[in-house]
Amino acid sequence: MKLNLSRRKFIISATSVAPSVFAHAQPMGGGLLSFFANEPQATKPLKSDWKNAGVIDLSNSPYAKLKTVPVRAVTIEDGFWSQRRKTNLSASIPSMHDELLEHGRMDNFLRLEGKSSEPQKGPVYSDSDIYKWAEAVGFQLQVADNPELRKTTDAMIHDVVAIQEPSGYLNTYYNGDRKSLRMQYDTQTTGHELYCIGHMLQGAIAYYRAMGDPTLLDAGIRFVDNFLIPNYGPGANQKAIVSGHPEIEMALIELSRATGDRKYVDLAGYILHGDERVSLKPQQIVYMYCGIPFTSRTKLEGHAVRAMYACCGATDYYLETGDQAYWKTLNVLWNDLTAHQLYVNGGVGARAAGEAFGDQYELPNAQAYGESCAAIGNMMWNWRMLAASGDAKFTDVIERALYNGINSGMSLDGKTYCYRNPLAFDPAGESRDRHLVDGKIRNAWYDTTCCPPNLERTFASLSGYFYSTNADGVYVHLYDNSEMDWHLHDGTRLKVQQKTNYPWSGDVKITVSPTTPKEFVMYVRIPAWSTKNSVTRADCVLHGTFGSVGSWRWDEPCGLYGAAGWGDYGAFRSWFVGWSDGADSSGDDQQVCYGYGAVLPCFDSEAPGESDCGEADSLLCLGESGVCFYAGLDSLQGRLEASADFHLFFWAW
C-alpha cells in the first residue's frame, strides 16, 4: 500500500486506506476490538462528559478561578478569523497530512508493522509531528464532524497503536540498533521520547473529546501506566526522569483531567521538581529548562519553546494543587517575560543559537528568532495564567501573540509556514538562517516541522479561547463575530453573540441572551492598548479609567445584573481605540514600534513603488528605513491614507 498521496487524493485515501489498515492491524485490546463495532470503549475509566471540555479541561481544577468553555460551544462567524480557520481545514490540515506522509513520518510506523521497507526518516522527535497533526484534527472535529477527515485520521491512529510493544513502549526512533538507548539519561536529555508521548497524549485527548474514541488515548495511558510509572519515578526501585524537552508535564496533567486519576499530577510534579540523582551540566539546566526544581527558577532562559512549555506545565500543576511556591515563581517569570523578553509581536526567543532567550532587553529585530512554537507556547502559558487569576493582563499577551507572532507563522493560503518570525527581514541580508530554503522564509516543509501542526492545532482550537466562566458569570476575552452557546455555572442556558469588525474597528456589539432572566456579571476585557473606552448598555453609558489591564466589573446602576432583567438590557456595545504603548521591546537603538490596536502594521523600507512587499514570502520591515515608531491614532490614520509604502499587517507579510 502506498501512502505517498497527492493532496488531490487526500479525500479518496480516507476510504481506500482504512480497510487495509484493519487487515494489518494487530489486536491491541479493547480499543481496537471495539473500533470494529464503531463504539470504542476505553480500557480505563475516562470522563464521560468528554464533549464539555475546553482547550484544557478546568471544570474540576480547584485553583482555576476561570473555567474553560468548550471549543464546540463557540461558533466563529465571518470576520477576521473565519478565513484563516476555513483555510486551516481546507488547505493546511490536508496539505500537512500529505507532507507528513511524503517525508516518511507514517512510514516510520508502517516499517515497524512490516508494511513499509522505508528507513527511519526525520529527527528524533518526528513521531510528535503525527501526534500534533492529530490534535489539530481532534480540535477541528470538536467544532464540526468531518467523516472523511475522521476516517483518514482513524487509519493513521491504528497504524500508530499497532506498533505499541507489550511493555507499553511506543516510539519509532529508538528501535533496532538504537533500542538499547531507550530512556538512558543521555537519551532523556536529547531523545524526546517523553516529548513525543506528551504530544501523543494531547492529540489523543483532543481526539477523544471530539468523538469519544479512546483508541489513541488508551495507547498513551498504556505507555504511562505500564511502561513509565513502573520503571521511572522517585522511588528507589525506579530510574530517574529528565523530561529533556518539557511537554510531558502539561500532557500528564491534562491526562489527569481526562481520567480523574491524580497520580498523573503527582508524576508531573515530580518531573517539574527534577531528580537529584541525575547529574546535569549547568548549560543543560539552562537550555532544557528542567532538571532542577521549577520553583528555583528566577528568569526565562535557554531554549524558548522548552521554557514556555515548562511554564505551561508548572501553571497546570498550580491549577491542580494550589502550590504557592509555583504561583510565586510563575509570576516572577511572567514579569521577566513582559519586562525584558517579549517582542511587540508576542514572539519570544531572541537568539537563533540554541533557539534561545537572550539577555534582558536583547531583542534584535532582524535576528529575532520568534519561533512560531514559542509564540504558541507563550499563548498557552498565558491562557493558563489567565485561568488561575482572572487577570486580563494575561489575555493581552495572548492577543498580541495570536494576532501577530503566531498568525504570521502560516501563509494566507495555509500551505507554507514561517519557522521564525523576524521583525525585519531582508531575503539577502543578515536574517538568513538555516530555516530559509532558497532564500524563502516561508516553506511548505521543514525537516523539523514542529511549527506547522502547532499552528494548525492552535487555529483549530481558537474558539475555545474566546470565553471563560466563573461563579459570577462570563468573561469575554477575544473579539470577533461569533456566538457562544453555553451555560452559567448554575446551569442557566446562555447565548452571547458578538458583532464587530475587530480588529479594524474597536466597536463591538455584544448581545447576551439567557434562556431565563438571571443575575450575573459580564466581564468585558478592556485591551491594554486601548486608551479611550466607552461601554454603552441601553440608556446607560459608562466611562471611566479602567486601567491599561485588568478585568472590569460593572456595578449598579449600570450593571448587567438587576431587577430589570435581561429583556431590556441584553445588548451593549464596547468601543476600544488605541495602539500599542509601553511595548517597546525593540532591541535596536532608536527604533520604536506602533500597532493598530491588536495588530502590528509592517512597512516596506524601500521607496514607494519599488516594493515587493505584496508577495507573501518576500519582505518585512517595520518603518521607513528600518524605523518604526509610536504614533497617535490620527497620525496612524493619516499615514495609512497617505503612505504609498504601507502594505500589510504583520500577520500577512
Sites of contact with Zn ion (CB under 5 A): 371, 373, 450-451
Is 196 or 373 the residue whose CB approaches Zn ion more closely? 373
Minimum CB–partner distance for residue 376 and Zn ion (Å): 8
Is 125 or 227 the residue whose CB approaches Zn ion more closely? 125
CA angle 280, 286, 288 (to 5 degrees): 75
> SS3 for 474?
strand
Minimum CB–partner distance for residue 345 and Zn ion (Å): 16
Is 306 or 537 the residue whose CB approaches Zn ion more closely? 306
Is 73 or 348 the residue whose CB approaches Zn ion more closely? 348
Minimum CB–partner distance for residue 419 and Zn ion (Å): 6
Please, which residues have CB within 8 angstroms of residue 68's CB and are 6 or more apart in sequence?
53, 54, 55, 56, 57, 58, 59, 387, 464, 468
Nearest to 435 by CA among 369, 345, 365, 348: 369
Is 393 or 442 the residue whose CB approaches Zn ion more closely? 442
Is 449 or 470 the residue whose CB approaches Zn ion more closely? 449
Minimum CB–partner distance for residue 270 and Zn ion (Å): 27
Is 171 or 421 the residue whose CB approaches Zn ion more closely? 421
Is 99 or 159 the residue whose CB approaches Zn ion more closely? 99
Q: Which residue has the CB atom at the shortest distance from Zn ion? A: 373
Minimum CB–partner distance for residue 251 and Zn ion (Å): 17
Neighbours of 33 (CB within 10 A): 12
Minimum CB–partner distance for residue 127 and Zn ion (Å): 15
Bridge-based pairing of strands 467-469 and 67-68 is antiparallel
Residue 404's alpha-carbon distances to 213, 318, 422, 519, in angstroms, are 35, 29, 11, 37
Minimum CB–partner distance for residue 456 and Zn ion (Å): 12
Label residue 6 left, alpha or beta by phi (over 0 means left) and psi (-120 to 50 means alpha): beta
**How far apart are the C-alpha atoms of 53 and 494, rounded to whole Å?**
17
Residue 501's alpha-carbon distances to 26, 74, 229, 397, in angstroms, are 52, 18, 51, 21
| Number of alpha helices (DSSP H) and beta strands (DSSP E) in the chain | 21, 15
> What is the amino acid identity at position 392?
A
Minimum CB–partner distance for residue 355 and Zn ion (Å): 8
Minimum CB–partner distance for residue 317 and Zn ion (Å): 24
Sheet holding 540-542, edge to edge: 74-76, 482-487, 493-500, 507-514, 571-578, 530-537, 540-542
**How far apart are the C-alpha atoms of 207 and 215, rounded to whole Å?**
9
Is 160 or 450 the residue whose CB approaches Zn ion more closely? 450
Buried b (16+ CB within 10 A) or exposed e, 174-192: bbeeeeeebbebebbbebb
Is 461 or 605 the residue whose CB approaches Zn ion more closely? 461
Question: Cell numbers at residue 55, please?
Answer: 482547550
Minimum CB–partner distance for residue 375 and Zn ion (Å): 9
